[in-house]
Structure 1
Amino acid sequence: MIGILVTGHGNFATGISSSVKLIAGMPEKYEMVDFLESYSVDDLTRELNAAMDRLSDCDGILVFSDLAGGSPFKTAVEVGVGRKERVEVLGGTNLGMIIEISMARGFVSDMDALVEMAVNTGKDQVVHFVLTKHEDTADEEGI
């Protein structure tokens, strides 16, 4: 099974993971690393390494981060490069992505397929609701 690691600024990882747990139950092989205000990048590096170590028995690690290019994203990339297991890092994570991949990895073991699925789900989850006024075109006098 491919492991999941969620990271982000502030309490992003634990916050979004509480929603995952509420909606789908807590997934197995799932780690969270928050980048707290009191943390340095060295602290974040240490925590990401520890989380990846706990997932080292997985068939790879898929990292979900909040912002592409932010410290959690960049640090996860740097930490992942030197590891023996394959590590893929995604930025711009939303709840739908994590839930979809948490459930799909039980029957999809191909990392590339999961990455593509996560990106597509993430894009599909962003929608804009537009309320339009319905105008009644019926003749007031009847048919």
Structure 2
Amino acid sequence: MKGILIVSHGNLAEGMRDTLELFAGKLEQLDTLTLSAGQDISDFRDKLSDKIELVDTGDGVVIFCDLAFGTPANVIAKMLTDVKHKDRLQIITGMNLPLILEYSQFRSDNVDFNDMISVGKDGIMNWNETLNI
């Protein structure tokens, strides 16, 4: 089973985990990492490596990140150039609760990430329009 790491600017990742566990219960091999304002990037990179090692039991890690091209996603993407991480990490940016909840329920090697991302996208709606208000 792949580990899950939720990464964000600020405390979003911790809030996402809290809400995820409200729906899914306590999940194994799940952790969070936040980038604080003014945090040293090398410190963040070191903590990221530690968290990956913590949740990876040999099957790899799916990392859900808040923002494409933000510092956390860029640091993670740079890790993919290292042979050690290239085949172990799957990075999904633009995370939302439906997306992470969907993955947390299946967590298999056969997950079609494009289908899973569609679940996250489908959860974004203009609710007024949907309700015809």
TM-score band by shorter chain is: 0.7 to 0.9
CA distance in 1, matches of 2:26, 2:36: 22
Alignment-mate amino acid for residue 122 of structure 1 = G
Give the Cα separation in 2 of the matches to 1:76 and 1:12: 17
Q: What residue is the counterpart of 1:126 in the other structure? A: 124
TM-score (ref. length: structure 2): 0.87
User: Please, which moves more after superposition, 64-73 or 115-124?
Assistant: 115-124
Question: Which runs of 5 or more structure 1 residues have no equivalent in the other structure?
Answer: 134-143
- Kindly indicate whether residue 40 of structure 2 is the aligned counterpart of residue 40 of structure 1: yes
1-structure distance, mates of 2:124, 2:132: 19
Separation in structure 2 between the aligned mates of residue 94 and residue 2 of structure 1, nearest angstrom: 19
2:75 matched to which residue of 1? Answer: 75
SS at match of 1:119: helix
SS at match of 2:14: helix
Structure 2: give runs of 5+ residues left out of the alignment: none
- Name the larger-Rg structure: 1
Shift of 1:114: 4.3
User: What is the alpha-carbon distance in structure 2 between the residues aligned to residue 120 and residue 16 of structure 1?
Assistant: 19
Q: CA deviation at 1:120?
A: 1.3
Residues 6, 80 of structure 1: CA spacing in aligned structure 2 closer, same or farther, 3 A cutoff?
A: farther
The residue type equivalent to 1:116 in the other structure is: N
TM-fit CA distance, 1:95: 0.6
**Distance of 2:48 and 2:112 partners within structure 1:** 21
The alpha-carbon deviation at position 63 of structure 1 amounts to 0.6
Corresponding residue for residue 60 of structure 2: 60
- What TM-score comes out, normalization by structure 1 length? 0.81
Q: Which has the higher contact order (CA 8 A, sep 6+)?
A: 2
1:10 is matched with 10
Root mean square deviation of aligned Cα: 1.7
Deviations 1:79-103 (A, max 9, x none): 3442255211111000111111011
Partner of 1:136: none
Say which structure is richer in helix: 2
Please give the secondary structure, in 1, of the residue aligned with 2:109: coil
Query: Secondary structure at the residue paired with 2:31?
Result: strand
Aligned to 1:139: none
Show the counterpart of 2:25.
Answer: 25
